[in-house]
Chains A and B, each alone.
Chain A
Amino acid sequence: MGAPDEARGTDPADSRTVELAARVEKGDRRAVARALSVVERADTSSRALIALLFPRTGRAHLVGVTGVGGVGKSSLIARLVTEWRRRGKRVGVVAVDPTSAATGGALLGDRIRMEELLADPGVFVRSMATRGAGGGLARATIDATRVFDAAGYDVVVVETIGVGQDQLDVGQVAETIVVVEAPNLGDDVQALKAGLREIADVYAVNKADTGSTDRTVATLRAMLALEGDRDWNPPIVKTSAATGEGIAELADAAEVHLAWLARSRRRAARRRERARAELRRLLQEQLLRDLLGRVGDPDLTAATTAVLGGTDPYRCASELLRRYHG
């Protein structure tokens, strides 16, 4: 190993971080709020904090809620959280909204739909901007769930941005994935496409109060039937965030799924998959940072000029790689 590089590894925590972690573990809400900001910074102090909190994680049920924009994810979560509260569970919510690529700013509006939860000390809702990450979550989302987990929240809900067909990072964070659908969003071919529906553990067909969910349910059933018998057949629950219909059933479905995960040893297997995926991601990011840090701007400029001059980009990239990456 070369000289100590503070971008690598885990640094000894300073006393402030140690104190913050201790307060988080006691469930101190102000400390939880601060810790969530720390993990968003993704620097040495956030790594030190996660190092301290990590041994206290693994107890919460991590529930992902995803779906395209406008299906009612936030309103549904507000109802679900109320149901979980009725069942005596403390709930943390990480609600992700997109960062503007143009300005770096973000308008985070998921709280509007959750305002009835705010008077309840057993609920903590945090809005998070994607800050340039592309998979439907922010990079720090996974660490945010760890903060809630270590603070003793029984259920941690992760709400993705309104996702497209390949923004599936929620699968790397959550144990139970609720895919929210709404009527009239697409035909049967949409249902056959790869994407969200490959990661669903539970379907919520929302806006049942609009009365037109039957077709959506039938389409989903038909699609699931094509896949034959799997070891987990995702239940389809009709919900209405407006009336509260199906909410208890949806909470039941999430619990049944968790029980199945534990019983079938899938919970451990999925944890293993998620840990592996996260390690790969961290390695990728670190390698990329290291490499791009070493490739100097003059070299990149020279290579760019070569591409414009007719050398193909694969060759230029290979040459740069050979020079810097051996």
Chain B
Amino acid sequence: MTTADKPSSAPPIRVLVAKPGLDGHDRGAKVVARALRDAGMEVIYTGIRQTPEMIAEAALQEDVDVVGLSILSGAHMVLVPKVVAALRERGVDDVLIVVGGIIPPGEGKQLKQHGVAEVFGPGTPMNEIVDFVRERARPRGG
């Protein structure tokens, strides 16, 4: 605690990366978490098999700007609305929600109607995700 700070610039963007549901394929989530970290963000990684309540609770306690959900089980149409509802129930209504996984285009549109800002499919370049998060995350202290 001895480091004197530089004139503080904007605090880092805080992102929760979580995997709801029962699939254990967390490689993609870890790669994205790492890329966001390397882009200077603080990434809270909560691991696999999270319930919507656990994710919402973590988002609340960590006061994140962004919630990134990785779903490869095909259950996104069930899980994502549940996460959104659990967040709203806790008054967490100003976070940017993004989803990664194998999501058919039509369903991606529906997810966006549920409050998801963007859906990233397989093969999305990392910098596309990083740039999107950076541009759209709520400015802190607002």
**Which residue in A40, A103, A127, A134 is a CB contact (below 8 Å) of B2?**
A134
List of A residues within 8 angstroms of B1 by Cβ: 133-135, 137-139, 141-142, 169, 172, 281
Summarize A's interface: helix, strand, loop or mixed: mixed
Contact B43 A37 (CB under 8 A): no
Chain B 129-142, CB-CB to A under 8 Å as 1, else 0, gives 00000000000110
Chain A residues near B92: list those with CB within 8 A: 30
A34 contacts B34, CB within 8 Å?
no
Q: Which of B3-11, B77-85, B108-116 contacts A (4 or more CB under 8 A)?
A: B3-11
Q: A58 at interface (Cβ–Cβ under 8 A)?
A: no
Name B48-101 residues within 8 Å CB distance of A.
Answer: 50, 53-54, 57-58, 60-63, 90-92
New A-B contacts (12) at CB < 8 Å, excluding given A30-B60, A30-B92, A107-B43: A33-B62, A36-B63, A37-B11, A41-B140, A45-B141, A105-B38, A108-B44, A108-B45, A109-B44, A111-B44, A111-B58, A142-B1
Give bound CA distance, A51 to B57, whole Å: 28
Is A125 an interface position by the 8 A CB rule? yes
Whether a CB of chain A sits under 8 angstroms from the CB of B36 is yes
Shortest 8 CB-CB distances between A and B: which pairs?
A105-B37, A288-B4, A33-B63, A104-B40, A112-B47, A105-B40, A37-B63, A108-B44
B residues near A (Cβ < 8 Å) are: 1-5, 8, 11-12, 33-34, 36-47, 50, 53-54, 57-58, 60-63, 90-92, 140-141
Name 18 A/B residue pairs within 8 A (Cβ), A-sorted: A29-B90, A33-B62, A104-B40, A105-B36, A105-B39, A105-B42, A107-B33, A118-B61, A119-B53, A129-B42, A133-B3, A134-B1, A134-B3, A135-B1, A139-B3, A281-B1, A281-B2, A288-B4
Contact A34 B63 (CB under 8 A): yes
Docked complex: A91-147 residues within 8 A CB-CB of B: 99-100, 103-109, 111-112, 115, 118-119, 124-127, 129, 131-135, 137-139, 141-142
Question: Which residues in A have their C-beta under 8 angstroms from that of B43?
Answer: 105-108
Residues of A within 8 A of B2 (CB): 133-135, 281, 284
Given the complex of chains A and B, what is the CA–CA distance between A115 and B54 in angstroms? 8
Q: A284 contacts B37, CB within 8 Å?
A: no
CB < 8 Å neighbour of B37 from A34, A100, A127: A100
Contact A105 B8 (CB under 8 A): no
How many A residues touch the partner, as a band?
35 or more
Report B-chain residues with C-beta under 8 Å of the C-beta of A281.
1-2
Indicate if A292 sits at the interface (CB-CB under 8 A).
Answer: yes
Q: Is the CB of B47 within 8 A of A126?
A: no
Within 8 A of B (CB), among A129-179: 129, 131-135, 137-139, 141-142, 169, 172
A34 contacts across to B, CB distance below 8 A: 63
How many Å from the CB of B47 to the closest CB on chain A?
A: 4
Q: CA separation between A285 and B5, bound complex, in Å?
A: 8
Taken together as a complex, chains A and B put the C-alpha atoms of A239 and B38 apart, in Å, by: 36
Residues of A within 8 A of B141 (CB): 41, 45
> What is the CB-to-nearest-CB distance from A51 to chain B, in angstroms, rounded to a whole number?
18
Shortest beta-carbon distance from B73 to chain A in Å: 19
Question: How long is the Cα–Cα vector from A119 to B55 in the complex, in angstroms?
Answer: 10
Instruction: Provide the residues of chain A in CB contact with B4, threshold 8 Å.
Output: 284-285, 288-289, 292
Q: Which residue of B lies closest to A173 (CB)?
A: B1
Known contacts A37-B63, A105-B37, A112-B47: does B5 contact A139 (CB below 8 Å)? yes
Closest A residue to B9 by beta carbon equals: A104
Q: Which residues of A contact B12 (CB under 8 A)?
A: 104-106, 129, 131
For A139, the chain B residues whose CB sits under 8 A away are 1, 3, 5
Q: B38, B44, B46, B140: which contacts A37 (Cβ < 8 A)? A: B140
Across the interface, name the chain A residue whose C-beta is closest to B140.
A37
Q: Is A43 an interface residue (CB 8 A)?
A: yes
Is the beta-carbon distance between A42 and B37 smaller than 8 angstroms? no
Say whether B46 contacts A115, CB under 8 Å: yes
What residue of chain A has the Cβ atom nearest to residue B38's Cβ?
Answer: A103
Q: Is the CB of A126 within 8 A of B62?
A: yes
In the complex, what residues of A have CB within 8 A of residue B62's CB?
33, 111, 126-127
Cβ-neighbour of B5 out of A33, A42, A100, A135 (below 8 A): A42
Docked complex Cα distance between A285 and B2 (Å) = 7
User: Contacts of A169 on B, CB cut-off 8 Å?
Assistant: 1
Q: In this complex, what residue of B is CB-closest to A30?
A: B91
